[in-house]
């Protein structure tokens, strides 16, 4: 069979685009090289919905960021994932930086960012009393927010599959042929034929592009390192705290997460091309994060760190998003070079790319049975006592707590495995349910999650992996 559209890459762009396309009667397949959705840049970033004042006016980044920020609350609501409109502050720590803040404010006006204001020191410290004494003013953008990028992506993929999109994991595209108006994608799961291709391969989008002879851009992978701090200090700041941006990015931020932790980072260091899948943290990087986070909030201490991670940004050498049909082949549609503010822009990019694709195909009907509302996901930790009792009465598995730190039940873990495009490994369960994300980092629940996965998937426990092929947790049986 020949698909109408194959989307390469199940990150936030690929998954949301798949969901947009599921509004139409098209045969769409979402291909992911890794063992799960959201495994690249989507998994590890600042989890911020930027207001849109950073990008230069007139760029795609500026346009899609402002639009995406506006769309995000409704998308998150439909998909039943957390979103918080907490606002952001770009803080000035000197008179010189105040000028910079003013510049950002004006850029924001040019980009059409709503609800911005310049705060003086007193106003700033009334909002955020834990900022450093040197903080002397700020740009306040009330439309900014925070989301959980992988939860958003998981939900989007799930909703897309529910609405008819096919999802193939462990399906890496290694070559592309084009003949008679049809692409043949050579993948690790065999050949796949499709009329249209959407390239949402993130840090690998330039490689995929070159498979059809389009070498108009190159991705320079750029590492960003972070710490996640315990919920005990999650309320240190209410808003996302930026420092003035530099050539390499928006600097080290301090922000609450939608789950109540505190996130500090990222660094920004260009990497060698061959290292683009290397998400190792470095001693130097983590030291930088500590140093610069303390500049914003001196009380932030990595003594409260529960984990650290590295994300790799897909920074394109052309310095803007690459969106729309390739010049080499109009049936090959780029959604490439998506770096910050990619997450913020994602709903708008997805809508745009789906629109371009549908227009190119022409004469496409609506999918009459499309339902964009993802069904309610039971979250024991958020439920009232009455809801909990009712849920357990229906399914006793909701009465068995597996993850002590985050209060996650066996029922929620089973739901995550059985969901469309569901979890297949320990990290997949973790991203979908938060089991193992608390302060003990899976010390208590890790082995139980392995058992549940083995049982649900009909496997032996030594076949269960942390995050897909090769990351097995257990070896053979003991003597």
Partner 1 sequence: MLNYDLVVVGGGPAGMAAALKAKECGVKDIVILERAETLGGILEQCIHSGFGLTYFKEELSGPEYAARFIDLVEKTDIAVKCDTMVLDIDENNLVTAVNKKDGLLKIQAKAIVLAMGCRERPRGALEISGTRASGIMTAGTAQKYVNLDGYMPGKKVVILGSGDIGLIMARRMTLEGAEVKVVCELMPFSGGLTRNIVQCLNDYNIPLRLSTTVVETHGKDRLEGVTIAQVDEHLQPIESTKEYIECDTLMLSVGLIPENELTKNVGIAIDRVTNGASVDEMRQTDHPGVFACGNVLHVHDLVDFVTMEAQLAGEGAADYILNGAKETVYVPTTTGNGVRYIVPQRVNIKNPNDVKLYFRVGRIFKNAKVVLEIDGNVISSKKKIKLAPGEMEDVVIPASVLAGMTENSTITVRVEE
100 binds partner 1 (CB under 8 A): no
Angular region, 388: left φ>0, alpha ψ -120 to 50, beta rest: alpha
Residue nearer to partner 1 on the CB measure, 28 or 267: 267
Q: How far is the CB of 449 from partner 1 (least distance, A)?
A: 11
Q: Which residues contact 388 (CB under 8 A, 6 or more apart)?
A: 380, 398
Applying CB under 8 A, which of residues 286, 338, 350, 417 lies at the interface with partner 1?
286
Residue nearer to partner 1 on the CB measure, 358 or 408: 408
Residue nearer to partner 1 on the CB measure, 116 or 286: 286
Judged by DSSP in three states, 155 sits in helix
Interface positions, 333-392, toward partner 1 (CB under 8 A)? 385, 388-389, 392
Piece of the chain touching partner 1 by CB under 8 A; list 75-83, 194-202, 337-345, 458-466:
458-466
Interface positions, 391-450, toward partner 1 (CB under 8 A)? 392-393, 396-397, 399-401, 404-405, 407, 439-444, 446-447
Rounded to whole angstroms, the Cα distance separating 297 from 450 reads 39
DSSP string covering 331-376 = TEEEEE---TTHHHHHHHHHHHHHHHHHHHH-SPPB-TT---PPPP
Residue nearer to partner 1 on the CB measure, 59 or 462: 462
Instruction: Give 114: exposed, middle or buried? Use CB within 10 Å, 0-12, 13-18, 19+.
Output: middle
Residue nearer to partner 1 on the CB measure, 23 or 290: 290
Piece of the chain touching partner 1 by CB under 8 A; list 11-19, 147-155, 236-244, 467-475:
467-475
Q: How far is the CB of 228 from partner 1 (least distance, A)?
A: 7
Contact 75, 355 (CB under 8 A): no
Q: How far is the CB of 434 from partner 1 (least distance, A)?
A: 15
Closest CA to 14 of 373, 470, 421: 421
Q: How far is the CB of 310 from partner 1 (least distance, A)?
A: 9
Closest CA to 297 of 87, 95, 124, 133: 133
Helices 446-457 and 426-433 pack at an angle, to 10 degrees, of: 110
User: Omega before 362 cis (within 30°)?
Assistant: no
Rounded to whole angstroms, the Cα distance separating 367 from 356 reads 17
Residue nearer to partner 1 on the CB measure, 143 or 281: 281
Size of the site for partner 1 (CB under 8 A): 56
Rounded to whole angstroms, the Cα distance separating 60 from 473 reads 43
Applying CB under 8 A, which of residues 190, 247, 283, 362 lies at the interface with partner 1?
283
Interface positions, 194-253, toward partner 1 (CB under 8 A)? 228
305 binds partner 1 (CB under 8 A): yes
179 binds partner 1 (CB under 8 A): no
Contact 38, 153 (CB under 8 A): yes
Instruction: Give 391: exposed, middle or buried? Use CB within 10 Å, 0-12, 13-18, 19+.
Output: buried
186 is catalytic: no
Q: How far is the CB of 442 from partner 1 (least distance, A)?
A: 8
Residues of this chain that interact with partner 1 (CB under 8 A) are: 228, 277-283, 285-286, 302-303, 305-309, 385, 388-389, 392-393, 396-397, 399-401, 404-405, 407, 439-444, 446-447, 451, 461-462, 465-479
Just list the catalytic residues.
50
């Amino acid at each position: 069979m020949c698909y109408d559209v194959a989307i390469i890459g199940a990150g936030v762009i690929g998954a949301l685009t798949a969901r947009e396309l599921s509004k139409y009667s098209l045969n769409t397949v979402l291909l992911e090289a890794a063992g799960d959705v959201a495994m690249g840049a989507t998994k590890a970033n600042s989890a911020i919905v930027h207001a849109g004042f950073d990008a230069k006016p007139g760029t795609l980044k500026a346009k899609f960021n402002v639009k995406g920020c506006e769309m995000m609350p409704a998308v998150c609501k439909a998909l039943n994932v957390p979103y918080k409109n907490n606002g952001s502050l770009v803080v000035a720590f000197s008179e010189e930086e105040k000028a910079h803040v003013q510049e950002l404010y004006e850029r924001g006006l040019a980009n059409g960012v709503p609800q911005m204001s310049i705060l003086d020191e007193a106003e700033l410290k009334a909002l955020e009393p834990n900022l450093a004494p040197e903080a002397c003013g700020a740009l306040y953008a009330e439309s900014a927010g925070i989301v959980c990028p992988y939860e958003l992506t998981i939900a989007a993929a799930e909703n897309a599959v529910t609405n008819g999109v096919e999802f193939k994991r462990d399906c890496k595209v290694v070559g592309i042929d084009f003949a008679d108006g049809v692409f043949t994608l050579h993948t690790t799961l065999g050949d796949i034929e499709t009329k249209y291709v959407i390239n949402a391969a993130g840090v690998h989008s330039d490689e995929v592009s070159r498979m059809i002879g389009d070498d108009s851009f190159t991705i320079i992978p750029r590492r960003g390192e972070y710490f996640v701090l315990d919920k005990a200090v999650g309320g240190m700041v209410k808003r996302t705290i930026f420092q003035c941006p530099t050539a390499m990015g928006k600097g080290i931020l301090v922000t609450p997460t939608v789950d109540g932790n505190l996130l500090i980072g990222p660094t920004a260091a260009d990497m060698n091309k061959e290292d683009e899948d290397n998400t190792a943290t470095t001693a130097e990087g983590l030291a930088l994060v500590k140093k610069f986070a303390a500049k914003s909030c001196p009380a932030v201490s990595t003594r409260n760190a529960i984990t650290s991670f590295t994300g790799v940004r897909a920074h394109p050498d052309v310095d803007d998003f690459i969106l729309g049909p390739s010049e080499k082949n109009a049936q090959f549609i780029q959604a490439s070079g998506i770096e910050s503010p990619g997450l913020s822009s994602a709903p708008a990019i997805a809508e745009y790319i789906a629109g371009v694709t549908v227009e190119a195909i022409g004469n496409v009907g609506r999918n009459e049975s499309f339902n964009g509302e993802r069904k309610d996901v039971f979250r024991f930790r958020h439920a009232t006592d009455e809801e909990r009792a009712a849920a357990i009465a229906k399914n006793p598995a909701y009465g068995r707590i597996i993850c002590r730190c985050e209060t996650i039940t066996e029922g929620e873990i089973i739901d995550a495995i059985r969901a469309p495009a569901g979890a297949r490994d320990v990290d997949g369960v973790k991203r979908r349910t938060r089991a193992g994300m608390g302060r003990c980092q899976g010390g208590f629940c890790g082995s139980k999650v392995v058992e549940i996965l083995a049982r649900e998937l009909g496997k032996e426990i030594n076949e269960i992996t942390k995050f897909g092929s090769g990351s097995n947790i257990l070896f053979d049986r003991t003597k």
